[in-house]
């Protein structure tokens, strides 16, 4: 077995999930994630966790939903066996990595939606555990990323096998700046956007449940803007519900998208913005800081953490960013859109430039004057 699979498992159970002896651990293994499952099982055993492995096969799910569609679509919204399991689970490790990203493409959408609605309680019970989501590199995901399998494995392990403690410290600096700051100004040749972040709390997304961060890899700092005004171009592509959005442009007034355009996917973008009242307002400003991620692979788990990028989300804000008792932007959607900050860019907080051309002010290569 590739030694990096064992290293991935060790980061997952030690840094991310912090497994202790006696923890009841559920490991959910996708069709193509068997090898990572084996490495994680060994690591859980070594740490003295009690293992229960769940089968997360997209082909099984598709067959079950097709059977339901043909026979009985009256889904139980409180499946006793699964809920009872989750309620007694300390740590839930989700190992993604299928063999076909389109494995469930032919499930009728009404069946899919009914199944998803019925899983609200299950989802909440899972989110109440110390859960962590990661992916094992598979040929299917390499294909989705447009990469060879070897190159994709290198990509995933570069993103996952970081010095997380050091990255967490670096991100903490940015969190402090954002927590203390009142306004953010983002500038590129096609972007000039000001956001208010007064009284908001930034989240240091360290890939560890200790920081309430549940993705591996992670490596972003994010907050919830209170107000936004200006224009922005999202020059990194994003696929949403099967539609590719390319070069999305927003004009934003009083935190509301008042004009939009896109080179590709403009109709889908319009539908997204009209989902509900909150869908045309911003719910998140995120700043990618994972230098192990060097390219967009059209998988948000990786893309939004890529260093030298920022993302804004239309839709729902995260409670963790809001003052106690305050409600942030509410919406049924949360769609991240990404912009490149590697060249000709400035990110300033309260008028002070904290990142220029992709380099933070505490990094080598940061220059006081823009070279752009």
Binding site for a second copy (CB under 8 A): 21-22, 24, 26-27, 29, 31, 34, 37-39, 41-48, 50-57, 59-61, 63-72, 74-76, 79-89
- Smallest gap from Cβ 109 to a second copy, in A, equals 16
Closer to a second copy by CB, 34 or 139: give it.
34
Closer to a second copy by CB, 71 or 365: give it.
71
What 3-state class would DSSP assign to 354? strand
Check: CB of residue 137 under 8 Å from CB of residue 144.
no
- Smallest gap from Cβ 71 to a second copy, in A, equals 4
How far, in Å, CA of 344 to CA of 308, rounded?
A: 11
Check: CB of residue 161 under 8 Å from CB of residue 7.
yes
How far, in Å, CA of 85 to CA of 116, rounded?
A: 19
- Smallest gap from Cβ 24 to a second copy, in A, equals 4
Closer to a second copy by CB, 81 or 327: give it.
81
- Smallest gap from Cβ 94 to a second copy, in A, equals 13
Closer to a second copy by CB, 52 or 161: give it.
52
Q: How is residue 254 annotated by DSSP?
A: T
Check: CB of residue 273 under 8 Å from CB of residue 314.
yes
Look-up of token digits 């070897």: 150
Give the E-state strand segments of the chain in sequence order.
24-30, 50-56, 91-96, 130-135, 183-188, 191-196, 203-205, 220-223, 227-234, 238-240, 243-245, 248-253, 256-261, 282-288, 309-315, 334-340, 346-349, 352-356, 359-360
Closer to a second copy by CB, 55 or 199: give it.
55
- Smallest gap from Cβ 61 to a second copy, in A, equals 8
How far, in Å, CA of 151 to CA of 297, rounded?
A: 12
Of 50, 62, 57, 49, nearest to 32 by C-alpha is 57
Closer to a second copy by CB, 72 or 254: give it.
72
Check: CB of residue 359 under 8 Å from CB of residue 366.
yes
Closer to a second copy by CB, 51 or 240: give it.
51
- Smallest gap from Cβ 97 to a second copy, in A, equals 14
Helix axis angle, 58-71 to 109-118, nearest 10°: 100
Closer to a second copy by CB, 92 or 222: give it.
92
- Smallest gap from Cβ 98 to a second copy, in A, equals 13
Length of the chain: 372
Of 305, 301, 309, 298, nearest to 338 by C-alpha is 309
- Smallest gap from Cβ 27 to a second copy, in A, equals 8
């Amino acid at each position: 077995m590739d030694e990096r699979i064992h290293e991935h498992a060790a980061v997952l159970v030690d840094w991310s999930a912090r497994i202790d002896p006696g923890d009841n651990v559920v490991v959910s293994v996708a069709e193509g994630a068997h090898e990572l499952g084996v490495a994680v099982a060994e690591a859980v055993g070594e740490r003295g966790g009690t293992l229960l492995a769940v089968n997360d096969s997209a082909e099984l799910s598709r067959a079950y939903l097709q059977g339901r569609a043909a026979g009985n679509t009256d889904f139980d919204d409180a499946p006793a066996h699964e809920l009872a399991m989750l309620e007694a689970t300390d740590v839930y490790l989700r190992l993604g990595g299928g063999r076909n990203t389109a494995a469930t493409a032919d499930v009728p959408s009404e069946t899919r939606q009914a199944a998803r609605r019925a899983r609200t309680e299950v989802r909440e019970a899972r989110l109440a555990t110390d859960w962590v989501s990661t992916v094992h590199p598979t040929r299917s995901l390499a294909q989705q990323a447009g990469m060879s399998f070897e190159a994709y494995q290198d990509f995933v392990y570069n993103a996952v096998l970081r010095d997380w403690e050091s990255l967490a410290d670096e991100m903490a600096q940015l969190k402090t700046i954002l927590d203390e700051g009142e306004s953010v100004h983002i500038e590129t040749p096609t972007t000039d956007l000001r956001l208010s972040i007064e009284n908001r709390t930034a989240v240091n997304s360290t890939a560890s449940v200790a920081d309430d961060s549940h993705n591996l890899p992670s490596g972003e700092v994010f907050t919830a803007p209170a107000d936004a005004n200006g224009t922005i171009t999202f020059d990194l592509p994003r696929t949403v519900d099967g539609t590719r959005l390319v070069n999305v442009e927003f004009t934003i007034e009083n935190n509301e998208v008042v004009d939009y355009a896109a080179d590709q996917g403009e109709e889908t973008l319009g539908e997204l913005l009209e989902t509900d009242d909150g869908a045309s307002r911003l719910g998140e400003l995120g700043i990618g800081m994972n230098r192990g991620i060097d390219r967009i692979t059209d998988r948000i788990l990786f893309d939004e953490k890529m260093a030298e990028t920022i993302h804004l989300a239309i839709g729902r804000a995260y409670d963790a960013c809001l003052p106690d008792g305050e409600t942030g932007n509410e919406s049924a959607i949360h769609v991240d859109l990404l912009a490149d900050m590697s060249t000709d860019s400035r990110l300033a907080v309260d008028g002070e430039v904290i990142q220029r051309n992709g380099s933070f002010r505490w990094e080598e290569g940061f220059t006081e004057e823009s070279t752009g």
